[in-house]
Amino acid sequence: MCSSERTPAMPVRRLLSPLALLTSVVLALTACGGTQSAAPGSPTGGTTLKWGWTLPTTWDPVTSSAGNDVNVLSLVYSAITRLDDKGEATPGLATGWKYAEDGKSVAFTLRPGLTFSDGSPLDATAVRKSLLRGRDQKDSLIASQLRNVEDVEVVSPTEFEVVLEQADYQIPALLAGKTGMVVNPKAFEADAKGVSTKPAGSGPFTLNRLVPGSHANLVRNPSYYDAANIHLDAFEVKAVTEPATVVAGLQSGQYDVAQLPPEQIEAARAAGLQIDLIPSLTVRVLDVNNKIAPFDDPKVTEALKYAVDRKALLETSNFGVGEVNVQPFPKGHLGYNPELENLYPHDPAKARRLLAEAGHPNGIDVPLTTGAPQGLPEQVQEQLKEAGIRTTIKLIAPAQHTQLVYVQHNVALAPDGFVGRESPLQALSVVYGPEGLMNPGRNTPEALLEKFEEIRTTPLDDPGYAGALQEAVAIGVKELPNVWLFSTPRIFARNPKVSPLPTGPAVQRFDGVRITNP
C-alpha cells in the first residue's frame, strides 16, 4: 500500500467504522496449482494471476457506465487519491492536499517523477487536462461529479490547485475513484474514442491484449509509483460467463482467483479452495422509474417497499451472505442511518391497502426487466404477487441493462446492484440526484438538494457532517422509489498458492498479492 505520509492539514474523516462485519475465511487445504507461466507479452517465466471477474464496459474511466468497472480500471489507471480500509482518503498520485480556509479550492502535491506507462510525464499539466476532459467531454459520465470544478490551475510540475465554484469538502474522496483516474492527454488528444479499448494510464499494469467479451491480458508496469508492492509479472482478467462453473474453473487452473456465487461457497471449501469475504459498499436494489405508470404514484412505490421480504431474499438468493438493508449505505458506513432499519417490514397486507388507496383494488400488472431470470428475479416475482403486484419477467441481454435502464430510461422495474462510490455525496447523487444514473425518473426533492449542499460545504471533521449524511439518506429512502434489499460482500475463491487478497470497501486491489510454490 501507499507509504507516503498524509499532509497534516488534510481534512479527512472516517467513513466506515472498523469493518468487522465480514472477515476473511481462510482454509489451508490443498488444491490445484497457481499459474507460473507468463501471459503474452509478459516476462518469460514470470507469474501470471488469472482473475475470474467481469470486463469493464469501457477502458476509459470518463465514459465507464458501470460502478464495478472501477475494479478493473484500477489495474491500468492510478487515481489522484486512494481510499483505505476505513474509507478515508489517502495518498495516491498525490502525496497530500490542503484546503483554502473558505473551502473553495484545494491544493494537491504530486509525487515527483511520475510517468504514464508509455513514458510520458504525468505532471500537473497532465492532471489538469485529464480532469477538465472529464468535466467537459460531451459523452462524459463523470461530468456531473466535476461540475463544481471551475478550473484546475498548474502551480508547478508537481503542484496543482482545484478551484471550485463553491466550497466542496468531498473532493479528496471523489478523486479516489474513476473521477480521479488520470488519463494520458497524449492518448485522448489524438483519439479520445480509442481510449475505450486502449487504456492510457499509469497503473500497476498495462493492457497487452484484449479479446472483447472474453479476456484481457495485462503486463506489469515498471514505472508504477508503487511498483515495489506489485509482485505479479502479468495479469489476466477473464470474464466469468457461467458462474456455476467457477469452482471447476479454479480446480482446472482456468482461474487463480474468481468471483464466487454465494451458493458455491461450500463446494469451493470442499474443493480445497480458500474463501475471502471482503466487506464492500454493494447493496442489492430494485430500480424503479417513477415516471412510468403505475409507479408515478408514490403509494404504488411505497407498496413495493412493503411487498418484499428482504430477509427471505437474502437467505434464498444470497444464501444468507450479507445483511438486510433498506438504504444505500451498508452498516458501519458513516452515512448509514440506524433509525431506518425497521422502516419497511415485510407486510403484503399493507402493500395491498396502499395499492387500493392508489386506485388499484385488484392489484397491478407490470413487467420485471432482468438479464438473469433465475434466482432473485423469480423470488421477487413470487413475493410481489402475494401483495397484488403481478409481474411478467422480461429477459434482456445483460449488456443492454445500462442502456435501457440508465440511458433510455424506459424500464419501469428492474433488479440491480449498487456498488457504492468513493465519496458519500457522489453515492447519494448517483441514486437520488437529478442526473443520477440510478434515478431514472430524474425526480429529486428540493429538501434533498438542500441537504446535498449542506454535505458538500461541511468539512469532514465537522461534528455535524455525519448527521447531514444520514438525514439525506432518510429523505431519499422515504421519498424516492428505489427499493433497497440487502448488502453483500465481495466473495472470492482462490487457489491456496495465491496469498490473501487486500481488503477495501470500494476497490478490489492486488497490491502485495503473490503466487507461491507449495
Which tens digits make up the pLDDT trace of 401-448?
777 877 778 889 999 989 888 899 989 998 999 888 788 888 899 999
Task: Say if residue 287 is in the same domain as residue 271.
Answer: no
Residue 309 pLDDT more than 80? yes
- Name the band, by pLDDT with cuts 50, 70 and 90, for residue 84: confident
The mean-pLDDT minimum among 37-41, 180-184, 213-217, 267-271 falls in 37-41
Q: Which three cell numbers stand for residue 421?
A: 462510490
Q: Which three cell numbers stand for residue 44?
A: 518469460
- Name the band, by pLDDT with cuts 50, 70 and 90, for residue 46: low
Q: Which helix (H) or strand (E) holds 490?
A: strand 490-494
pLDDT of 33 reads 39
Asked whether residue 192 is domain-assigned, the answer is: yes
Query: How far, CA to CA in Å, does 229 sit from each of 88, 159, 220, 315, 392?
Result: 21, 25, 11, 39, 50
pLDDT of 398 reads 74
Asked whether residue 139 is domain-assigned, the answer is: no
Q: CA 393, CA 407: separation in Å to the nearest integer? A: 21
- Name the residue with cell 425526480: 443
Rounded average pLDDT over 112-135: 98
CATH of residue 378's domain is: 3.10.105.10
DSSP state of 181: B
- For the chain, give the number of residues: 518
Task: Say if residue 293 is in the same domain as residue 436.
Answer: yes
Residue 96 pLDDT more than 60? yes
Note the pTM of the prediction, 2 decimals: 0.79
Task: Say if residue 70 is in the same domain as residue 10.
Answer: yes
Task: Say if residue 60 is in the same domain as residue 7.
Answer: yes
- Name the band, by pLDDT with cuts 50, 70 and 90, for residue 518: low
Q: Which domain holds residue 249?
A: 1-88+181-280+490-518
The mean-pLDDT minimum among 82-96, 178-192, 267-281, 304-318 falls in 82-96
Task: Say if residue 261 is in the same domain as residue 202.
Answer: yes
Asked whether residue 59 is domain-assigned, the answer is: yes
User: Burial of 66 by CB count in 10 Å (0-12 exposed, 13-18 middle, 19+ buried)?
Assistant: middle
Task: Say if residue 303 is in the same domain as residue 251.
Answer: no
Asked whether residue 364 is domain-assigned, the answer is: yes
Close Cβ partners of 87 (under 8 Å, ≥ 6 residues apart): 14, 15, 16, 173, 333, 334, 505, 506
pLDDT digits (tens, 9 = 90+) for 49-77: 999 999 999 999 999 988 889 999 999 99
Task: Say if residue 314 is in the same domain as residue 445.
Answer: yes
Task: Say if residue 500 is in the same domain as residue 434.
Answer: no
Residue 208 pLDDT more than 60? yes
Task: Say if residue 411 is in the same domain as residue 294.
Answer: yes
Task: Say if residue 430 is in the same domain as residue 295.
Answer: yes
pLDDT of 24 reads 37
Residue 15 pLDDT more than 50? no
Residues of the chain with pLDDT > 70, as a percent, come to 91
Asked whether residue 494 is domain-assigned, the answer is: yes
The mean-pLDDT minimum among 93-102, 311-320, 436-445 falls in 436-445
Residue 14 pLDDT more than 70? no
Task: Say if residue 297 is in the same domain as residue 363.
Answer: yes
DSSP state of 344: S
Residue 158 and residue 4 in contact, taking contact as beta carbons nearer than 8 Å: no
Counted domains in the chain: 2
pLDDT of 419 reads 84
pLDDT of 221 reads 97
Q: How does the average pLDDT of the chain come out, rounded? A: 89
CATH of residue 204's domain is: 3.40.190.10
Asked whether residue 117 is domain-assigned, the answer is: no
Residue 4 pLDDT more than 80? no
The mean-pLDDT minimum among 31-45, 101-115, 174-188, 330-344 falls in 31-45
Task: Say if residue 237 is in the same domain as residue 256.
Answer: yes
Residue 41 pLDDT more than 50? no
Asked whether residue 297 is domain-assigned, the answer is: yes
Residue 474 and residue 26 in contact, taking contact as beta carbons nearer than 8 Å: no
Asked whether residue 153 is domain-assigned, the answer is: no
